[in-house]
Structure 1
Amino acid sequence: MPSPKVLLVANTSWYLHNFRLPLLKDLRAAGYQVEGVAPHDSYTALLEAEGFTVHPWLVARRSVNPLAEAHALVDLLRIYRREQPALVHHFTIKACLYGTIAAKGARIYRVINAVTGLGHVFLGTRKRNHLMRSALKPIYQAAFKARRATVVFQNAADQEKLVQLGITNAERAELIRGSGVDITHFNPAALANAAAPGAFHGPLQLLFPSRLIREKGVKELLEACQRLWADAIPLQLLVAGAIDAGNRSALTPDELGTLQADPRIRCLGHVDDMRAVYAACDLVVLPSWREGLSRALNEAAAMERPIITTDVPGCRDVIDHGRSGLLVAIHDARGIELAIRLLLENPDLASRLGKEARRKVVAVFQVSLVNQSTLEIYGRLLGTPLDRKPILQGMF
Structure 2
Amino acid sequence: MPNMISTGRAEIEWRSESTQKPPRAAVYLSHANAEQVLKAAHAHTATVWTGDFHNAKQVLAAMKKRVRKPGSRNQHADIQTAFHSHRMRQAQQSRVLNMLAVEIGCGFSLELPRAPDVAGALADVYGAANDEPFLLPLNRLLGFIGAHEWHKKGIVLPCLEAAIHVPFGVFSPLRGEYLDLIAQAPLPADIQTAFDIGTGSGVIAALLAKCGVARIVATDNNPKALASARANLERLGYGAQVEVCAADLFPEGQADLIVCNPPWLPAKPTSAVETALYDPDNAMLKGFLSGAAQHLTPGGEVWLIMSDLAEHLHLRAPGFLAQCFAEAGLESVGQLDTRPKHAKAFAPDDPLAFARSRETTSLYRLKAALQP
- Give TM-score scaled by structure 1 length: 0.29
- Which structure is higher in helix share? 1
- Which structure is higher in strand share? 2
- Quick one: higher RCO (CA 8 Å, sep 6+), 1 or 2? 1
